[in-house]
């Protein structure tokens, strides 16, 4: 086949940012501000995103541009000015890195106990590349998969990508992972995540997946990925695309459930024909595609966007799974949507879709106690309240028990909520954040 049928992956990084931004009419100061943000928070995109997904005539409002290119409001204005001054003053690289580190440490880089409460211990050894928050589920972060084909500006895993080893979660100790799973037969489900595991070659991914098939208690394997949206050629024409699909078939043939946890943020990501072909090829292996993503201001904070996204993914044979709340890390202040408004968006979109698409759950906060779902706003005993429940919890006894929080129009996260009716806790064993 000609090269037109075999697109080659080409990444763009901060050194390319200024040139890419010259496609639109931004001033020098505006471009400098975005470069300043990219010196603190990660930036990476690729030619497919730039040429096929972004409508450059609609920039800067285009949702995929806002999804992948830094925005000046992602950092406080004084921090943007500080970094811009360092860049224009040709400050030494070490000084720029020190300033960036100071700013990052104020951005809550690892929320919800990721580096303490979620790290498992086996035979006295902390397994820092695993996360074990819920009894039946373990997350595995392969060392070679801790990057992505492109970075989302709102990504809550941004510390993985900024080059600071102390902030990174990763493992290549497959033997330790195997030993931990055999010592914990309650673990039935593995989520291989990142970054994006599908930046790895199939041969490397196989080294992590095959040992899981030898652990009888593992019943399902999930792969968290944005590749269907940001590099669908991974499943169609990449040199080992067919090998990847054969690996999926082997997992399914072993009797396990294989789910591709596909991160779709906006219906614009579904429009290129190659995405539909990639989804068809994945489904033909017996794997299930489950679709999830966060509700984010300025990108998809409308019922129109979500209703179209859920209906279109359902039509393509995928399963709408979660609508998340933007986590309390990184640029949450810029991208976060208040819970009350978020639920209104969710409800209005949910009301427009068929029953097949109503598999989706949300808005969901993946918070310290577990996955907290905002079921709605109601008046109970004369008080306006949020109605909530835990879809998943560290303490399984708390799952699916409704509880109430005092209504707060400005609340954007779990830690903003207070128990309703003057109570000191939400439920026995469930304290305020």
pLDDT in tens, the chain (433 residues): 334 567 999 999 999 999 999 999 999 999 999 999 999 999 999 999 999 999 999 999 999 999 999 999 999 999 999 999 999 999 999 999 999 999 999 999 988 777 788 999 999 999 999 999 999 999 999 999 999 999 999 999 999 999 888 889 999 999 999 999 999 999 999 999 999 999 999 999 999 999 999 999 999 999 999 999 999 999 999 999 999 999 999 999 999 999 999 999 999 999 999 999 999 999 999 999 999 999 999 999 999 999 999 999 999 999 999 999 999 999 999 999 999 999 999 999 999 999 999 999 999 999 999 999 999 999 999 999 999 999 999 999 999 999 999 999 999 999 999 999 999 999 999 999 8
Residue 359: CB atoms within 10 A of its CB come to: 16
108 vs 104: CA distance, rounded Å: 8
**Lookup result for tokens 């106990």:** 113
141 vs 131: CA distance, rounded Å: 8
Between the alpha carbon of residue 132 and those of residues 119, 327, 369, the distances in Å are: 6, 19, 13
* pLDDT for res 1: 35
Cα torsion 343, 348, 354, 355: sign: positive
**Starting from the edge strand earliest in sequence, which strands make up the sheet with 361-366, in order?**
130-134, 137-140, 189-192, 220-225, 257-263, 288-295, 319-325, 361-366, 370-380, 383-393, 403-406
* pLDDT for res 167: 87
**What is the distance, to the nearest Å, from the Cα of residue 30 to the centroid of all Cα atoms in its chain?**
28
- pTM for the structure as a whole: 0.95
* pLDDT for res 391: 98
Where in 360-407 does DSSP place strands (E)? 361-366, 370-380, 383-393, 403-406
Q: Which helix (H) or strand (E) element contains residue 335?
A: helix 332-335
Where in 11-147 does DSSP place strands (E)? 11-12, 45-46, 121-122, 125-126, 130-134, 137-140
Quick check: 209 and 258 in contact, CB under 8 A?
no
The 10 Å CB-count burial string (b at 16+, else e) for 13-42 is eeeebeebbeebebeeeebbbbbbbbbbbb
* pLDDT for res 5: 67
């Amino acid at each position: 086949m000609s090269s037109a049928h075999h697109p080659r992956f080409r990444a763009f990084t901060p050194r390319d940012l200024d040139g890419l931004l010259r496609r639109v009419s931004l001033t020098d100061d505006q471009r400098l501000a975005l470069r300043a943000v990219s010196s603190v928070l990660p930036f990476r995109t690729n030619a497919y995103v730039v040429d096929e997904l972004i409508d450059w005539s609609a920039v800067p409002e285009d949702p995929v541009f806002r999804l992948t290119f830094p925005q000046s409001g992602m950092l406080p204005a004084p921090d943007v000015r500080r970094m811009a001054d360092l860049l224009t003053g040709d400050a030494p690289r070490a000084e720029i890195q020190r300033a960036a580190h100071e700013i990052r440490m104020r951005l809550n880089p690892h929320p919800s106990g990721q580096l303490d409460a979620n790290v498992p211990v086996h035979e006295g050894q902390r397994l820092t590349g695993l996360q074990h928050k819920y009894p039946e589920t373990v997350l595995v972060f392969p060392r070679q998969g801790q990057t992505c084909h492109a970075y989302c500006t709102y990504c809550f895993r941004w510390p993985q990508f900024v080059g600071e080893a102390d902030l990174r979660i990763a493992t290549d100790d497959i033997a330790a992972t195997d030993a931990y799973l055999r010592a914990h037969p309650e673990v039935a489900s593995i989520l291989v995540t990142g970054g994006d595991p599908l930046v790895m070659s199939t041969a490397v991914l196989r080294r992590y997946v095959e040992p899981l098939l030898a652990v009888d208690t593992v019943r399902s394997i999930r792969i968290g990925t944005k590749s269907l949206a940001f590099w669908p050629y991974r499943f169609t024409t990449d040199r080992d695309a067919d090998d990847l699909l054969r690996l999926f078939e082997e997992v399914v043939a072993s009797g396990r459930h294989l789910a591709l946890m596909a991160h779709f943020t906006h219906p614009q990501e579904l429009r290129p024909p190659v995405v539909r072909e990639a989804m068809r090829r994945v489904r033909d292996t017996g794997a299930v595609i489950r679709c999830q993503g966060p509700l984010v201001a300025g990108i998809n904070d409308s019922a129109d966007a979500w209703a179209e996204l859920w209906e279109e993914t359902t039509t393509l044979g995928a399963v709408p799974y979660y609508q998340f709340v933007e986590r309390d890390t990184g640029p949450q202040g810029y991208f976060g949507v208040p819970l009350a408004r978020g639920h209104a968006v969710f409800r209005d979109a949910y009301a427009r879709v068929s029953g097949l698409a109503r598999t989706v759950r949300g808005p969901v906060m993946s918070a310290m106690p577990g996955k907290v779902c905002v079921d709605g706003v109601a008046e109970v005993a004369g008080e306006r309240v949020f109605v909530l429940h835990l879809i998943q919890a560290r303490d399984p006894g708390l799952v699916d028990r409704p509880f109430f929080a005092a209504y707060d129009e400005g609340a954007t996260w779990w830690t903003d909520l207070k128990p309703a009716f003057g109570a000191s806790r939400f439920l026995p064993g469930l304290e305020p954040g």
